[in-house]
Structure 1
Amino acid sequence: MSTPSEHRRVVVIGGGVAGLATAALLAADGHEVDLLERSSALGGRAGSWERDGFRFDTGPSWYLMPEVFDHLFRLLGTTAEAELDLVHLDPGYRVWFEGHPDAVDIAADRAGNVALFESLEPGAGAALESYLDSAELTYDLALRHFLYTSFQSPASLLAPPIARHAPKLAGLLTRSLESYVGARFEDNRLRQVLGYPAVFLGTAPDKAPSMYHLMSHLDLADGVYHPRGGFHRVVEVLTSLAERAGACLHTGVEVTGVRTAPGGSGRRQRVHVTGVDAVRDGAPASYDADLVVGAGDLHHLETRLLPRELQTFPESWWSKRDPGPGAVLAMLGVEGELPELAHHSLFFTRDWQQNFGDVFDARRVPEPASAYVCKPSATDDDVAPPGHENLFVLVPVPAETSIGRGGEDGAGDPQVEKAADAAIAQVASWAGVPDLAERIVVRRTVGPGDFAHDILAWRGGALGPAHVLSQSAMFRAGNASKRVDGLLYAGSSTLPGIGVPMCLISAELVLKRVRGDRSAGPVDVPRDL
């Protein structure tokens, strides 16, 4: 990569995906980078846990938007093909519907899913063709004009493609995803398949703008992939690339404050960063910096590491924001095979409105709850001992730390263990594995309290602030402090949003800020790649 910006001393706070990608990009651009991670391991939400021959990813498990990964790797002088062994999953995922005895397998490609939709509802195949055409167009516009920009320049919203499709985009922003899907499909199973991507965005189908129907282009047309080794492997690659670029990565260092001094440019009250204070090995430490990038939870960074007068996003701002869902996770080592489950399996309750209403409105753990189950042992041989399966179960719950924390072998707080038990019983019943609970030999649960404690997640949220309209695109928290020069942000709390691809893009948005690049698209990749 070229180095058009002046050399800076940089501190990146947080060693998750966004922090690692930011450290790698800035180090490759010629800056002196120290990354500080409070825990003993890198990865953040994309963590890893091992016991008795089982290895579990503790967070992300859907590899979507492969072009975003590849673009980031190309900026760092390599490719996704060179760094990852990607498997195109077939089926992409399996869906179980309450009240229907048979699961539905989502195909690995567009043609297969058009045929599937037609088999479930006459005329739905043609409707899906039109739906996916619109999803692809919207996704392309998002990549070119909305995802790789910090919206610093109004000109980015005046590009000819945006103007040409303005009426369509306006309609997609003001109508819910649920309404958009419901107007095109009658079968409730199809409506649920098309509406569920809202959960990946931290919200419900009736709260997500229909702009996000673009998500269906990813899973129903492009297909779902799995990196062998799981997202733990993605973290390993990002770690290697950051170190190769010259970044120094430190674990066990908790930042306790951002240091500032008078003299920032612009308004009189602005200041500039001079570094961070921290605790390392139980002792005070400090790191000087000309630039600080907060790549952890934005609420913690703003309200705990800065004094009130320097906060761009104080508590009063957060009180009006939607935290998205929390989650109860169960990592299960299971004796024997489970052919009933695919690599990814979804379990949807019949009363869709009640389920989402419990999570996002009533703020209680739903009973029954829709759930997601990942079985990486379907694809990776080394995540479970021979003759065993590895299951990762996720139940969306409210982002409420009062639900509690998890533990090993049933030792978590009562609400967490109850939700995990209910999900296990649901999978056993719906998928036809009546002895599932008796076959579990390893069990660990995680609750909203763990997200708050382990990664300092605001209100114990599992993903990050929800992608409702008021928290999407230019309405999402910006990635630069308005009161402190040299303080930037990356990660799921800020632009462009939730998910590993978005976190990778957020790192690139920091690079563009540092370079003074206000363009709407991604940074150009060197021509020799």
Structure 2
Amino acid sequence: MHKKIAIIGSGFSGLSAAAYSSKAGNEVHVFEKHSQAGGRARQFKTENGYTFDMGPSWYWMPDIIESFFADFETTTANFFELKSLDPQFEMVFSDEKISVPKPFDDLKILFEKIEKGSGQKLEKFMKSARYKYEVGMQDFVNKPCDSWTEFMSPKIARSALKLDLLTNFRSYVSKYFSNPKLKALMEFPVIFLGASPKEIPALYSLMNYGGYVLGTHYPMGGFYQLVLAMKKVAEAQGVIFHFDSAVEKIDAENGKVSSLEINGQIEHFDAVIASSDYHYTESLLPEQYRNYDEEYWKSRTFAPSCLIYYLGFSQRIPNLQHHTLFFEYDFDEHISSIYEKKKWPEKPLFYACCPSKTDPNVAPKGHENIFLLMPIATGLKEEETYREKYFHEMIQRLEKHTGTSNLLSKIDYKRSYCAQDFYKDYNAYQGNAYGLANTLKQTAVLKPKIKNKKLKNLFYTGQLTVPGPGVPPSIISGRIVAKEVNKLKNVRYEKTV
């Protein structure tokens, strides 16, 4: 039986869920509070000619993204040009900088120069990481995670030891490398998973394979091109988008969601998929219908929030790559400030993205487009003076790295974005930027459920449920939930007299 389905939010999981749900023959409506699709991956343009991606900037795991388009008999190439970056990124330490080359053979040579014997160890590491990637991204992450029995297939059982689920990522990396810079290079990708390397399962070495071996890419026109492409795919299936449409309440009766209140108007649906913040979605329900209470959310480990600056410079800046990681200070000290001390970092690490090095259309001719991102703890007290303090420190380190001076005087566009903005724009719990951390205690079945336990036709998707944070996992999350919704029977809305 075909259904009338509402999707709350148009981030990657919402776009994915919409496309797959509509492909199955359902009538699908997407309600987005903003004036454009994308959620955290929105884009904005300035009056003086800059184009800024607001969220994701690392295009990793291109095969996973490509598989979405393949399911609709198309390819990303029909929507945007994908450029492979070489070098993939640069990591800046206190005494040197390391550029990560695109060819894997060159990466092995680089490792060997830094630590004798590590080139061969890197090959061994990536062979294992490839196995985890193939099993993890094809079998492990594609489960709705209702029960551990889903993982009792012969293939997953045979793979259990090789997946290194019970070893933490830091210990695992230390088995291969002893040089602290190589360790930092290998540990950096799990920052996207939202926890210390000491808390992340070694399974996630698959991130190293998905990034370093499969390569770092950039969609010309900005990461938002992926949003636009997925929206076009969804619309081709018949999905209807409603922008500037905030869902204010979820009504329920007889064990089912009956309607949504949208901009003060009541709309009835057979099923609802919430791609919005999980905690916020539940706040729209009467308390007795929520999966989790406040104590549950307080007990969770969240991925960081972040302080972001979107900057336009009136001149080109030399000696700067598309992606640059500033790791001059101790990695663990910054991580501790996020997860243990819950305070603003004293010696922060940060990331600079300069897409105008690859794409001349994101900045006026002769100008530079840069955004700076510093991970911070969720729930911090925030004041404008904090933003400016860290802004000036990041600019000083950018000047030192690039050999330029007086960058402040060259800024012709500046906008900051921090935890309170994530909360205001996305209803993000405690202002988190990346969802729920992928710790061992928050993996698979231990994540918040995709199904509401009391309302048979309410589902959740996105970075706070399975499979976890990141663009490819969010796309997968949408596909998983669409399949579950399609199994529903006897949920047709009928008006009671």
* TM-score (norm. length: structure 1): 0.89
Question: Partners of 2:487 and 2:328 in 1: how far apart?
Answer: 48
- The AA in structure 2 aligned to 1:212 is Y
Question: Partners of 2:423 and 2:463 in 1: how far apart?
Answer: 15
The answer to whether structure 1 residue 187 and structure 2 residue 179 are counterparts is yes
- Quote the offset at 1:356 in angstroms: 0.8
What's the Cα RMSD here?
1.5
- The AA in structure 1 aligned to 2:266 is S
- The AA in structure 2 aligned to 1:14 is G
Q: Which residue of 2 aligns with 1:526?
A: none
Of the structure 1 ranges 382-391 and 432-441, higher mean CA displacement relative to structure 2 is found in: 432-441
Q: Which residue of 2 aligns with 1:37?
A: 32
- Quote the offset at 1:155 in angstroms: 4.8
The answer to whether structure 1 residue 228 and structure 2 residue 223 are counterparts is no
The answer to whether structure 1 residue 123 and structure 2 residue 103 are counterparts is no
- The AA in structure 1 aligned to 2:268 is D
Question: Partners of 1:343 and 1:243 in 2: how far apart?
Answer: 32
Question: Partners of 2:51 and 2:375 in 1: how far apart?
Answer: 22
Q: Which sections of structure 1, spanning at least 5 residues, go unmatched?
A: 1-5, 263-270, 405-412, 518-529
Question: Partners of 1:370 and 1:202 in 2: how far apart?
Answer: 15
Give the 3-state SS of the residue equivalent to 1:246 in structure 2.
coil
Of the structure 1 ranges 19-28 and 49-58, higher mean CA displacement relative to structure 2 is found in: 19-28
1:173 and 1:211 in contact (8 A); partners too: yes
- Quote the offset at 1:89 in angstroms: 0.5
The answer to whether structure 1 residue 137 and structure 2 residue 131 are counterparts is yes
Question: Partners of 1:75 and 1:141 in 2: how far apart?
Answer: 20
- Quote the offset at 1:275 in angstroms: 1.9
- Quote the offset at 1:154 in angstroms: 4.7
The answer to whether structure 1 residue 285 and structure 2 residue 285 are counterparts is no
Q: Which residue of 2 aligns with 1:261?
A: 253
Of the candidates 366, 391, 397, which is equivalent to residue 387 of structure 1? 366
Q: Map 1:28-107 onto structure 2 (within 5 A).
A: 28-51=23-46, 52-98=48-94, 100=95, 102-107=96-101
- Quote the offset at 1:95 in angstroms: 0.8
Q: Which sections of structure 2, spanning at least 5 residues, go unmatched?
A: 489-497
Q: 1:240 to 1:385 in 2, by over 3 A?
A: same
Q: Which residue of 2 aligns with 1:3?
A: none
Question: Partners of 1:133 and 1:470 in 2: how far apart?
Answer: 26
Q: Deviations over 1:109-129 (max 9, x none)?
A: 321211110111111101101
Q: Which residue of 1 aligns with 2:457?
A: 486
Q: Which residue of 1 aligns with 2:154?
A: 160
Q: Map 1:405-484 onto structure 2 (within 5 A).
A: 413-484=384-455
- Quote the offset at 1:416 in angstroms: 1.8
Give the 3-state SS of the residue equivalent to 1:386 in structure 2.
coil
Q: Deviations over 1:319-354 (max 9, x none)?
A: 210121010001110122123111111111332221
Q: Deviations over 1:2-56 (max 9, x none)?
A: xxxx200101011212112211221122111111111222211001122110110
The answer to whether structure 1 residue 111 and structure 2 residue 105 are counterparts is yes
- The AA in structure 1 aligned to 2:153 is A
- Quote the offset at 1:235 in angstroms: 1.2
- The AA in structure 2 aligned to 1:249 is F
The answer to whether structure 1 residue 294 and structure 2 residue 265 are counterparts is no
Of the structure 1 ranges 225-234 and 236-245, higher mean CA displacement relative to structure 2 is found in: 236-245
Question: Partners of 2:10 and 2:240 in 1: how far apart?
Answer: 11
Q: Which residue of 2 aligns with 1:498?
A: 469
Q: Which residue of 1 aligns with 2:293?
A: 314
Question: Partners of 2:392 and 2:378 in 1: how far apart?
Answer: 19
- The AA in structure 2 aligned to 1:448 is A
The answer to whether structure 1 residue 276 and structure 2 residue 260 are counterparts is yes
- Quote the offset at 1:71 in angstroms: 1.2
Show structure 1 runs of 4+ deviating over 3 A.
Answer: 152-156
2:354 and 2:368 in contact (8 A); partners too: yes
Q: How many positions carry a matched residue from both structures? A: 487
Of the structure 1 ranges 430-439 and 495-504, higher mean CA displacement relative to structure 2 is found in: 430-439
Q: Which residue of 2 aligns with 1:147?
A: 141
